[in-house]
Amino acid sequence: MKLSARLAALAGSSALVIGALAGAVPATAAPAGATAAPDISVANVKQHLTDLSTIAANNGGNRAHGRPGYKASIDFVKAKLDAVGFTTSVQQFTYNGTTGYNLIADWPGGDPNQVIMSGAHLDSVTSGAGMNDNGSGSAAVLEAALTVARSGYQPSKHLRFGWWGAEELGLVGSKYYVNNLPTAERSKVKGYLNFDMIGSPNPGYFVYDDDPTIEQTFKTYFSGIGVPTEIETEGDGRSDHASFKNVGIPVGGLFTGASRVKSSAQVSKWGGTATAFDRCYHSSCDTLSNINDTALDRNSDAIAHAIWTLSGTSTPPTGKVFENTADVAIPDSPGAAVTSTVNVTGVTGNAPSNLSVGVDIVHTYKGDLVVDLIAPDGSVYNLHNRTGGSADNIVQTYTVNASSEVANGAWKLRAQDIASADTGYINGFKLTFP
């Protein structure tokens, strides 16, 4: 992340919070004890959809079970998750004489006995690319998972994500997953959230009427943004949540409508026309243009709200500390910038939004100094920019939003003296990961 203009205004305050994830504005107030969910970038969700569309185009026009476009979709989602620190596994099954695949992704950490799982079916029907059904749910769940990683979220419960094969042939992949989950493991799954068709071109806003806590969590989100919802009635049990519900796991989910026709009352409520919610349901016109961006955006944010709310508070700090106490002389102006390095290892995923940066600089005039934190990829976070006048020494802990940086690697504290006469040295540099 690049140094933002906000910094100039903030520089000099005693605890700086520097930078922000693009678009990572808290979408809703957090319940007591929980962290507010970040905004999900609908642009990123749409990019995943575009990639899935390209995969279909390059593989005979669909992403159906047993066809090459399905396996290519699995490989695509898996690579994205592997790159940000998820533990992924591909589960194989056989149906109709061909191999099917589920993708399971676990976010390291959280209570292993309390799992919150979110999922979407990744297969399409053979007639088309399946962008609303169910590129929409697949892409939104993917972006929610990537946002967990980017924000360094450490929930108290364990987060798991699933992409199911062969849903269109009778919930085959999700049934296979729950049937092969030992009873003890099933009982650890405290909630399964399903997202199948969440960007219908003539959308309604439907919430599954199942587990009351999950249902209320979604309703609270939508009432907070002033969007009325209705209970989903276009075929209860017609998607993968049924597989989980059948073995006693609490379920919930969102849906924007399939082939059913929007009533005039629903048109008054949500806009659109009194035609099918998705006139391209299961047909070749379920392409990228068969998506309502507003519905996709709202539902993506609702997914994040539910995941963050249901998974609880951030865990207490693990307190991983990396420190360099070797002295580094800072030459008087006009002198080169000098650095002190700490090598961070063994931290999963990205750095946190509250990286604690301990700076200990002995100097006779702190107004001479510019001090920056440099991430392993070279991104610069300014910590001190000549404020404080003739006061001596900088002994201070700064809080830096480093959530767009990969944690592991060589982090540097850089100091430069840009006014002559007074001098000093870096006495210590310490990074604390929560």
Residues with a catalytic annotation lie at: 167
- Residues 205-234 touching ligand TRP, rule: CB under 6 A, are 232, 234
Which residues lie closer than 8 Å to 284 by C-beta, 6 or more apart?
61, 127, 128
Task: Estimate to the nearest angstrom the gap between the alpha carbon of 233 and the chain centroid.
Answer: 29
22 binds, among Zn ion, Ca ion, ligand TRP, none (CB under 5 to 8 A by kind): none
Torsion angle (degrees, nearest 10) of CA 78, 82, 84, 87: 110
Q: How far is CA 291 from CA 198, 232, 238, 337, 392, in A?
A: 9, 19, 21, 52, 59
What dihedral angle (degrees, nearest 10) is formed by the CA atoms of 246, 251, 256, 259?
Answer: 10
State the minimum distance, in angstroms, from the CB of residue 204 to ligand TRP: 11
Question: Interface with Ca ion includes 422 (CB under 5 A)?
Answer: yes
Nearer of residues 410 and 419 to Ca ion, judged by Cβ: 419
Task: State the nearest-atom distance from the C-beta of 330 to Ca ion, in Å.
Answer: 8
383 residue type, one letter:
L
Report the site for Ca ion in 336-375 (rule: CB under 5 A).
Answer: 368
**Interaction of residue 424 with Ca ion, rule CB under 5 A:** no
- Reduced to 3 states (helix: H, G, I; strand: E, B; else coil), residue 253 is strand
Task: State the residue for tokens 């998607």.
Answer: 239
Cα 224 versus chain centre, distance: 21
* Helix, strand or coil, per DSSP, at residue 51: helix
In 3D, which of 142, 189, 192 has the Cα closest to residue 163? 142
In the complex, least distance from residue 39 CB atom to Zn ion, rounded to whole angstroms: 26
Does 235 bind ligand TRP (CB under 6 A)? Our answer is yes
Q: Which of residues 247-306 bind ligand TRP (CB under 6 A)?
A: 255, 258
CB of 226 to Ca ion, least distance (A): 57
CB of 385 to ligand TRP, least distance (A): 54
Residue 417 contact among Ca ion, ligand TRP, Zn ion, none, beta carbon within 5 to 8 Å by kind: Ca ion
Region from 92-100, 228-236, 297-305, 330-338 binding Ca ion, contact rule CB under 5 A:
330-338
Using the rule CB under 6 A, is 239 a contact of ligand TRP?
yes
Which residue do the tokens 């998972």 mark? 145
d(CA 203, CA 222): 14
| Candidate list 39, 133, 211, 417; residue touching ligand TRP; CB under 6 A | 133
> Which of Zn ion, ligand TRP, Ca ion, none has residue 238 at its interface (CB below 5 to 8 Å by kind)?
ligand TRP
By CB under 5 A, name the one of 75, 234, 332, 392 that touches Ca ion.
332
Q: Which residues pair with 9 in a beta bridge?
A: none
Tell whether residue 197 is a contact of ligand TRP (CB under 6 A).
yes
Residue 314's alpha-carbon distances to 157, 284, 400, in angstroms, are 9, 44, 17
Question: Could you say which of 39, 106, 123, 196 contacts ligand TRP (CB under 6 A)?
Answer: 196
Q: Using an 8 Å Cβ cutoff, are 327 and 346 in contact?
A: no
Binding at 248: pick from Ca ion, ligand TRP, Zn ion, none (beta carbon under 5-8 Å per type) = none
Which residues contribute to the site for ligand TRP (CB under 6 A)? 133, 167, 196-197, 232, 234-235, 238-239, 255, 258
Sites of contact with Ca ion (CB under 5 A): 332-333, 368, 417, 419, 422
